[in-house]
Each structure stands twice: as structure tokens, then as C-alpha cells.
Structure 1
Amino acid sequence: MDQSKSASTKPFARFEWMIAWRYLRARREEGGVSTMTWISLIGITLAVAALIITLAVRTGFRSEFVDTILGSNAHVTVYSSIYVDDDQTSRQIEDYAGWAEALSAVPGVTRAAPLVRGQVLSTYRSANVAMDVYGISYDNLLSIPRVGQTPDESWGDISRFSEGIAIGSGVARELGVAVGDRIKLISPEGAKTAFGTSPRVSSYEVVYVFTAGRYDIDKTRAYLPFDQAQTYFNRTGSADEIEVMIEDPESVDDMAMPLLLAAGDRAMIWTWRDASGSFLRALDIEDNVMFVILSILVLIAAMNIVSGLIMLVKNKGRDIGILRTIGLTEGSVMRVFFICGAFTGLIGTVFGVALGALFAMYIDTIMAFVNYLNGGGAWDPSIRGIYALPAELRFVDVAKAVSLSLGLSFIVTIFPARKAARMNPVEALRYE
């Protein structure tokens, strides 16, 4: 072909793809090039898969953690500031019905429930467990997603709540009780006598056992009927706090001021972000660090493409000289070798996405197998707080991994491709 025709050739023409494909199919005597291509392909595949799996587990863990917080705890807790009552300081809310009604009227609030809270020691036979007891009405208990709305993960009859106590599955396991057994609650805040305050001991039938999804909650929490909790904790005619649920928990910061104004001058609030903000910030920092580390891993895998292309350029020096002699431009030669490297990165990325997606979708099965190999100790909920390793595959996370892999693969390919394009054809053919 003459120079005028080659100069007018469109980029990435058909013949450029043909030459690149021929170079990718290395002959037996060029086994080194073929080996480096396979190493590059496998490296990119594993790096992209690792990045996608990490992002999926990271997203799943955060979603599961937030879901268990919002599914069993108040989005906003409204309580009273300290005031003096009968020469004693107190935080009790006497007009709890009025507070609850005013808070329920705030736009965006789905429920405002008065609560009585206290810590007790629960006993059954020779077992003892410390519990956080929440006094709540039956209707409000039913509206708690992870407690009153999970029939598949609970035991007993929640409709009998007024007749006994509802406890977490961890409490039931530690005490060794089942539905129908009676447990004793011991509280230091008992009856006041001339000799001081005597502990209060009461017995309640376990009518409902729930699983909230978080180990620390299931192991410590119990619910009593609101009126019985008032009597037991000496809160007759008052409540400790108001539990507020809102439509959009992620916008809880925007709801703070309207809730404060609705509750009155003595009101104070504590949101779910205040309670778990430090842990969520730690998760965000860990997420960013893991992404950077795995990005470096993808870069290292992409550098294998450079090694393979350098070997390919060295082996194809004679071919490059001949192609330049018959009229191929520097741009055409550069695009040929760019296609060789970019194609390896593209195929490796596709395989990596498939492998990472499959791992994320079947992570329960994989973790069960790993747990079996480790004798059941691979995942300890008492340390991690949740019962299983979650994974949530999101399009945006896959897009991040694909963009990073392809971007790095294309960038690192440019340098050896430019070296091939700038090779002097006379020098390339001199020693052939």
C-alpha cells in the first residue's frame, strides 16, 4: 500500500484487529509471550473478582448493620432534661401521652411510643443473665420490624404479650428457657422501706422469643407490657423516654429540630446516628482503605500486561520493520499493540466480574463450606455482631471495579505500544 492510503486509514481498521489477533495467538516457539498473556489474564481476573467481592461484602455488611439498628431500635429517642421534683432530680416524663401525641403530629413521623427502661438480672434455675428491659405497649411492639414482624425467626404467641414477657433468642439460650417457662427478674430499684430500698423480685412467663438479627441485642433485650414495667420500675404515671420512628431514617438529622420544637423546652434527642455514628465512620474509613489497597492489586495485575507486551514487541521486531516498510504508520503499529494489551485487560475484566458476582451471590454456601472446614469457628457472631457474612451486589460497585480495571489496563498498554510504534524499521531489519 502507498503512504497516502495508509495515512488515510481509519483508526482501529479491520487489518489492525487481524494483526493483533494473530499476535495474541503466539506460536509454540513464542511460548514466553503466550505464558505472559495467560498470567496477565489470570491476574486481572483475580484482582477484579477480589475487588468486586470486597465491595459487595462491604456494602452488605453496612446495609445489614444499619438494617438491624433501624429494625430493632428507635430512629430517634426523645427524653427529658434533668429537673427537680420533690427535692430530687429526675428525667421522667410525666406527660408522656402529650409528648407522644405532639411528636406523632410532626410530618415524617410514623410512630411515637412511650417507653420505660431498666436493667435487671434475670434468673432461671441456676442460670443468670443481665437484661435491658423495655416497657412498651402491645401495638407498638407489633410495629417494631425486627421484633414484632418476623414470625419466621420467632417462637411463641406475641398476642399473649400482656400475660408475660418477650425475650431475645440469646437470652433464652443463655438461660436455657423456652416458651412457657417462668423467669425471675431482680431489680435493685425495688420498694422503699424504713430500712432502705429492697430489691424487687417478680416472676414472668416467657410468651415470645424473638431474633432481632444482632447478637448483642438478642443476648440482652426483653420487653414487658408498658403498665407492668411502670409498676416494676417505680414509674407509675410516667415514662423514661419516647421512641420515635420516622419514614426516612437516613434524613434523621433534618428531623431533629422539628422534633425538639414539638416536644417542648425540656426535650432532648438522641438519634440512631449519634448512637452508631462512630462505628459507621470507622466502616467508611475501612471501606476507603480497602478500595485503595485492592486498586493497587489491580494495578499490579495490569503491570503484567506491560511485561507481556514488551516481550511481544521484542519478538515481533522484524514484523514491525516489515509493516513499517510496506507503509503502516506509527499510529497503526501503536494501535495493533494497544489492541493486544487492551484485549487482555478486557477479557480478564469480564472473567473477573463473572467470578466476583458468582462469589457474592453464593457467599452463604461458600461460607458454610469454609465454616465446615474450620470446625464451625469461621464466623463468630459474638465478635462481629451479626449472624452471617452478608454481601450485596450493586451495579455502582461493579461499575467502579470495571472502570478501574479497564482504565488501568488501557493506560499501562500505551507505553509499550508507543515503543513499538517508534521503532526504527531499518534498525529492526538490520540484524534479521
Structure 2
Amino acid sequence: MELFVALRYLRGKRKIGFISWITYISAIGVCLGCFVLVVALSIANGFEKEVRDRIVGTLAHAKVLKHNSQPITEYQTLRDYVLDHPQVIGASPFISGKGGIEHEQVQDGIMFTGVDPELEHTVTEISQSIKRGQFFLDTLKSRRGRDFPGVVLGTGLANRLGVDEGSEVVLMSLATEEGELDPVPKMGRFTVSGVFQTGMHEYDANFVYVSIASAQNLLNMEGVEGIQIKTTNLFRADRISANVRDYLGGYPYSVVDWQTQNRSLFEWMKLERLVIFIVISLIMVVAAFNIISSLIMMILEKRKEIGILMGMGATSGSIMKVFMLNGVVVGFIGSTLGVLMGLGLCLIQYHYQVIPLPGDIYFISKLPVLISSFDVIAIYISANVICWLATLYPAWKASTMLPAESIRYE
């Protein structure tokens, strides 16, 4: 009975036609809020996935290091031992350092990484990101006909320096030449063998790859800094790397995973998604106020009918259910339509990529979307809960009316 009366009131005729229009507008508000939330959060998820894929493609899942930045001299033995771990599917030694690069009086600061080109592809995808040239770090002939070790640069750095394959560059580290009275930075001349593009501006503008031998020479270092590893599960890299540390016996070894290295970036993305959810949810809150106002006007308009129903034996609980169902139905219709429309648009973009992005500004050419079932369910439940809460006070006031008072002035 309660649902039947609630639906009759929703359709509304004659005197309450205007009230019904407010109810419809409330449903549109809920629909719009759900639609925008589904689309916005799916886009945020899509960008997060794209950023994560590019970070993991450039960096290994985790790194095995020694405490106090001590070099690892027996790194081949350590690599073989790490590879015996059942959850490690790739391992490669590396050395990282800070320095500068120069080409024809143009200088810039860089982060250089020494890697084994034969093993690097087992832990990262940097060799697959080569845009021009090749991932070659051994001795290479330059355009001037001279032989120097190979170096691979990011596109942003290569463009700033004005270099391409075959160009000669000078790398400088913070280490100094041994035996010099005055400190002189350690330098080395290299031939550009390739230019990579990861899509991440920070990496493309600052990263340089050289061979392990070249990095050791630039840093006056024996051994390597650590071992990069690739795990069986990207999202459990923190637990697996901790397990690898225990597998190695703990001290003096330590580990750092890709999530820890980029914690601030991903925390910012989580905060951004939370802000999006809260701000756009205000649309549904506004719709909830419309539901409250329409119910209050409807109750005032329907005082006579409420009195008659109560006089015929309807309980206060039944009257309260009538007006609660009114708001619940509005929330159900609005949230269902909004979520379905949002999912429809996201699926169209996912499969057909109809919305482009300027590739010269963003690192992708199409708007990325990733639908999260958790987000969709949370949006749907939140919308319905907001609409249900909006009905409580008006429905309670209607249930407390006295039958005689309700029809006295009718």
C-alpha cells in the first residue's frame, strides 16, 4: 500500500504538479551527480594507470641495496642468488649517480644510470621505449669517426642539447679525478646511440643510461650500487621485496620498491580522487535538499489525505514509509540512470577512444578511462543513502500529524 501511494504522489496531478516537477528535477540532479562521478573517477583511474605503467616500465619493481650506500662487489653471485627466489623473475645490476652533460657549450644536470644492456630488458621496458637509434652502450663510432662508449638519452634532454644518434656528448659526475691537487670533476666522452621516450617528462628530461663500466669509471667505484628485480606481482612488490631481503639474511641488505620511490605522487593521486568524489557529491546533496523541499510542500498539500489515511487506520509507520519511499524511488531512478549513462560513456571511450588529447601536451593521445567496480558501487550506494537520509525529517513530521488537525481546515 505504501509503495502504491508513494508512486501516485510522485506522478502528481492538478494542484501538486509543480511539486512533482521539483521531484523530477531532484531525480535529474541525482542522475547528473552519479554520471559525472562515474566519468570523473574513471578518468582519474585511467590517468593513474597510465602513469603507473610508465613508471614501472622505466623503473624496476624493487631494488636490493646495501646499507649506508656501500657498493656490492660480488654482484654476479648476488644476482644469481636473488634469481633463485621463487617470486623474482628478473634481476639486473645497476649504478646510479648525479652529474652533468655537455654538448657544444650547452650544459644540463642529469641523473645517469649504469646498466647491463643484456639484462636490463628483464627488469624494465626502457629498451622498448627507444624512439630513435638503439639501446646500445658498448663502444660506438660517432659522426666524427671517433670511438666512444654509447649513451642513451631521453627525448626532452636530447632536444635541449640538440643531439641525435652519433652526436658526441661529455658526461661529468660529482666524483673527482684521483691524484689531482685541485678537485676536477670526473669526465667522459660518449657517443649518443639512442633516444628514448617514456612519456614521463621527469624521466625524458633528466635520465641518461650508460654501461656499468662507464658508470664505475665516472664514479670511481668498484662493484655496483644494487640489484634491480622484477617480481611476479607488481602490486605486491613491497611484500615480495621485503621477503627477498629476509631471504638474503637481512642486514647489510635493504630493499626499496617502486611504490615507496613514488609514494608522494600516488598519495597525491589518491587525494585528488577523494577531492573529486567529495566536490561532485555536492551535486547530489543539492538534489537531496530539493527532495526535502518537495516532500515538505507535498506533505502540506496532502494534509487532508494524510488525515483520511490515518483515520482509516493507517499507522504512523505507514505514513512515514509513504514519504520515505517517495525519496528512495527518486534516488533509485536517478542513481540507476546516472550510473548506467556514466558506464556507457566510459565503455564507448574505452573501446573506441572517441575523445582525443593533444599528444604534444600529454603523454597519451586519447583520454584514458578505467572503470573501477568499487567506485561504481560506492557512488550508487552513496547516492541512494543521501536520498534516503533526505526523507527522514519530512517523513517523520508527516507521521506525527494528528488526523483531526490534518482535516480541520479542509
TM category, shorter: 0.7 to 0.9
Given candidates 223, 233, 252, the residue that maps to 1:248 is 233
- Report the counterpart of residue 234 of structure 1 in structure 2: 220
Aligned residues: 396
1:70-115 deviation line (CA, Å, top 9, x unaligned): 2222333223345xxxxxxx82222111121222222211222111
Aligned partners of 1:57 and 1:391 also within 8 Å:
yes
Deviation at 1:282, TM superposition (A): 5.0
Relative to structure 2, which stretch is displaced further, 109-118 or 350-359?
A: 350-359
Give the Cα separation in 2 of the matches to 1:106 and 1:30.
73
Change (3 A) 1:186 1:56: same
Q: Does 1:339 align with 2:325?
A: yes
Which residue number corresponds to residue 6 of structure 2?
A: 20
- Matched position secondary structure for 2:175: coil
1:398 has 2:376 as partner: yes
- Cα displacement string for residues 13-67 of structure 1 (whole angstroms, at most 9, x for unaligned residues): xxx43x4333223346534303321331232223323433453344445444443
Q: What is the alpha-carbon root mean square deviation over aligned residues?
A: 3.5
Alignment deviations for residues 110-136 of structure 1 (CA, whole Å, 9 cap, x no partner): 222111222232223343221111111
- Tell me the secondary structure at the aligned position of residue 262 of structure 2: helix
The question of 1:203 aligning with 2:189 is answered: yes
**Secondary structure, aligned partner of 1:320:** helix
Q: Is the 8 A contact 1:77 1:269 kept in 2?
A: yes
Match for residue 98 of structure 2?
A: 119
Name the residue aligned to 2:132.
156
Q: Give the conservation status (yes or no) of the 8 Å contact 1:146–1:211.
A: no
Give matches, 1:406-425, under 5 Å.
Answer: 406-425=384-403
Distance 1:101 1:406 in 2: 56
- TM-score, structure 2 length as denominator? 0.81
> How many Å apart are 1:304 and its aligned residue?
1.8
Decide whether the 8 Å contact of 1:102 with 1:263 is kept in 2: no
Amino acid paired to 2:126: V
Q: SS in structure 2 opposite 1:183?
A: strand
Call closer, same or farther: CA 1:116–1:334 in 2, change over 3 Å.
Answer: closer
Q: Which residue of 2 aligns with 1:38?
A: 24
Deviations 1:186-209 (A, max 9, x none): 335354345445444433333322
Match of 2:144 in 1: none
Question: In structure 2, what is the equivalent of residue 130 of structure 1?
Answer: 109
1:148-297 matched pairs, under 5 angstroms? 148-150=127-129, 154-158=130-134, 160-162=136-138, 163=140, 164-189=150-175, 191-235=177-221, 238-251=223-236, 252-259=238-245, 261-262=247-248, 265-281=251-267, 283-284=269-270, 287-288=273-274, 291=277, 295=281
Distance, in Å, in 1 between the alignment partners of 2:66 and 2:401 is 80
Does the CA-based 8 Å contact 2:59-2:124 persist in structure 1? Answer: no
Are the counterparts in 2 of residues 184 and 203 from structure 1 also a CA contact under 8 Å?
yes
- Partner-residue secondary structure (3-state), 1:138: coil
Separation in structure 1 between the aligned mates of residue 312 and residue 242 of structure 2, nearest angstrom: 75
Distance in structure 2 (CA, Å) of the matches to 1:308 and 1:243: 63
The alpha-carbon deviation at position 144 of structure 1 amounts to: 4.4
Measured after TM superposition, the shift of residue 296 of structure 1 is: 5.5
1:220 Cα shift? 0.7
Distance 1:244 1:254 in 2: 10
